[in-house]
Amino acid sequence: MARRSGGCLSLLVVLVALGAAGWYFRDRIPFPWKSRHEDPVEVSEAAAKSAEDKISRLRTEHDTVHLNAVELTSLLRYRVQDQLADGALQQPEVRLNGDTLRLTARLPVDRLPDVPELRRVRGFLPDTADVDVRGRVRTVTRGRAALEVTRATFAKFPIPREWQGQLLTRLGRKDQPGLGAQEFPIKLPPGVAAASVQNGELVLSPRS
């Protein structure tokens, strides 16, 4: 009985020692559930490449992929900057919170909606100011998505909902089937069927 108790005690000591070693060297051990590549935390060319690699994996392995705000911002700045409002949108930045996407950027004042109310105050606005657009992403049809705008400001002044459609038009929006007046179209990359924002990430699903 004493021998058996001693054996159990020795086994317990070994397990504790292994557990302690595993904790101490946790960053060096390639656990199967631990991601090989950490998601980028800084806007960069490398972060844009990380996003492209994920989308490529979606196409080849038919995986659902998740992009964070840093990767999306990097794609905008390093891949499609000149396509945003014909290059007028400067320093774009994406933020994701829950199911909401927020896009901030610098925009020339002449891209504001051409309405009488704004013409009266344009002389008091700077040539370029911050634009802040918030909304939710939904899939319109396979391969097509849209950002439904719920709030927009320019130079920190709220843009009334009835003017938001004009603002989106000046940012490059064109009417498309199934697109609402307050929605901005998003052409999804080849191989991507659907898109949504969930838990602070953009979730892209492959075509079946």
62 in the same domain as 27? no
80 in the same domain as 20? no
For 98, half-sphere exposure in the C-beta direction (CA atoms, 13 angstrom radius) is: 4
169 in the same domain as 84? yes
pLDDT at 144 > cutoff 80: yes
57 in the same domain as 147? yes
Residue numbers of the domain that contains 6: 1-34
Please name which of 123, 151, 119 lies closest in space to residue 135, comparing C-alpha atoms: 151
76 in the same domain as 27? no
Provide the pLDDT for residue 87. Answer: 77
Share of the chain above pLDDT 90, in %: 54
130 in the same domain as 60? yes
102 in the same domain as 17? no
126 in the same domain as 43? yes
Tell me the C-alpha distance between 44 and 60, whole Å: 25
48 in the same domain as 128? yes
Confidence of residue 124 (pLDDT cuts 50, 70, 90): confident
54: three-class secondary structure by DSSP: helix
Average pLDDT over residues 118-144: 88
121 in the same domain as 131? yes
55 in the same domain as 15? no
Question: Which pTM was predicted?
Answer: 0.77
User: In the chain, how many domains are there?
Assistant: 2
Average pLDDT over residues 71-82: 92
129 in the same domain as 100? yes
Give burial (CB, 10 Å; 0-12/13-18/19+) of 101.
buried
Confidence of residue 25 (pLDDT cuts 50, 70, 90): very low
